[in-house]
Structure 1
């Protein structure tokens, strides 16, 4: 009778710290990419929570006026006005307006090139400031937002997180604060006034407009009508 041979013992694997570290670095990098993408994707249908700046202002002021309202309850002219004022090429880009970026670099200021999508990313997910770390995160998240959100959704979130005066956030609070009406009742003049103050809401007033705000309001009214006529509003109105 043949003798049974014992199975050979498997050689013990030596712990290799560098290989272990590399594996965990890869895993953490994957998690760092997957989690933000999942959050952005979820916010294509779920409303994002208050952003960092909004929470800061609420703490500083002891509270803010902010009430979420869907795009269907905002006058279409308000959507057109903010596009005309802030990002006329909104329907034609994927989050970055390359023409505006080139123009801003050419004049040496670097300003005026931020799209509505970039502003949404900053207000909803990041913090205010011009440091490179924030700009880098903004550059990463902007195309993700464009991938998962419709253009109408981007405008809806933008109008709900934008600051319109000290402690006044979102179009619902702004419409009531300045004009005593709901966003659905905004006239073309009122919508253009609100869009005109957005770059500097603490220094400008929609109800007591300066000469500059009046002039800018007229330009925005013309611009909003132009993008309605030439089809540049189709991506967020259809």
Structure 2
């Protein structure tokens, strides 16, 4: 029993040390690849991943505002977890039907960079640990920068720069509110949701998010990133 306790203690210390080292490294270095990219069958079917890391200073502010409007309106005010959204999602999921998430952009970034897709309490626990680390070590601007560079934006396509080139033939530095909104609403299901020619609910939702971009600007909901 004593050897087991020693082993578990060493394993825990090793995990903490490695996770801290990775978080510190990626505070300054672009994330080269993620588990999501490696496990994405489309990447291998298409001969590799399409991605192009861009500094946040080279991404149009409309894109930042669009993902805040679509994914996490409290991004600048929470500490990595939106307890109200989590509680609301849990209550709705308890009623059955389509499972809804309450993850913040910080949580999604932690999952996308350090972990894998899919549910489970174990992965959720690791996600919470990495979320705390990146909130404390990276800060909001770096979290947003990494999120916009590793998020899946299409078939074998990752990051908003590669997505902007794919869908609009232009750099992410010059996206209009409508273009940014269309990319933002597709993020949860980029392989299934059309960016260039959305129809029905998806087009209406994109128009709503495009309007909310102005709200984010007016209310300063992105000030933690630029101030």
TM-score by length of 1: 0.87
Matched pairs, number: 221
CA contact (8 A) 2:92 2:100 kept: no
Offset, 1:29: 2.1
Match for residue 147 of structure 2 among 158, 162, 165: 158
**How do 1:36-75 residues align onto structure 2 when only pairs under 5 Å count?**
36-57=19-40, 58-75=43-60
Label 1:29 to 1:213 Cα distance change in 2 as closer, same or farther (>3 A).
Answer: same
Superposed displacement of residue 21, structure 1: 5.7
Label 1:178 to 1:34 Cα distance change in 2 as closer, same or farther (>3 A).
Answer: same
1:95 corresponds in structure 2 to 80
Q: In the TM superposition, what is the alpha-carbon distance from 1:202 to its structure 2 partner?
A: 1.0
Tell me how far apart the structure 1 counterparts of residues 88 and 44 of structure 2 sit (CA, whole Å): 38
Distance in 2, matches of 1:51 and 1:64, equals 11
The separation in 2 between residues aligned to 1:97 and 1:136, in whole angstroms, is 16
Aligned residue among 169, 184, 197 for 2:186: 197
Structure 2: gaps (5+ residues): none
Q: Distance in 2 between matches of 1:48 and 1:125?
A: 10
SS at match of 2:122: helix
- Equivalent positions of 1:77-96 (< 5 A) are 77-96=62-81
CA gap of 1:21–1:132, structure 2 versus 1, over 3 A, is closer
**Off by >6 Å, runs of 4+ in structure 1:** none
1:120–1:158 CA contact under 8 A, matched in 2: yes
1:224 CA displacement: 1.6
Give yes or no for the alignment of 1:112 onto 2:109. Answer: no
CA–CA separation in structure 1 for the residues paired with 2:202 and 2:171: 22
Q: Residue 180 of structure 1: CA displacement?
A: 0.4
Secondary structure of 1:164's aligned partner = strand
Give CA-to-partner distance per residue, 1:147-189, whole Å, 9 cap, x none: 1112111111111111111111111110011000001111111
Q: What SS class does the counterpart of residue 94 from structure 1 fall into? A: coil
Which of 1 and 2 has greater Rg?
1
Moved more, 103-112 or 220-229: 103-112
- 2:199 maps to what in 1? 210
Query: What is the alpha-carbon root mean square deviation over aligned residues?
Result: 1.7
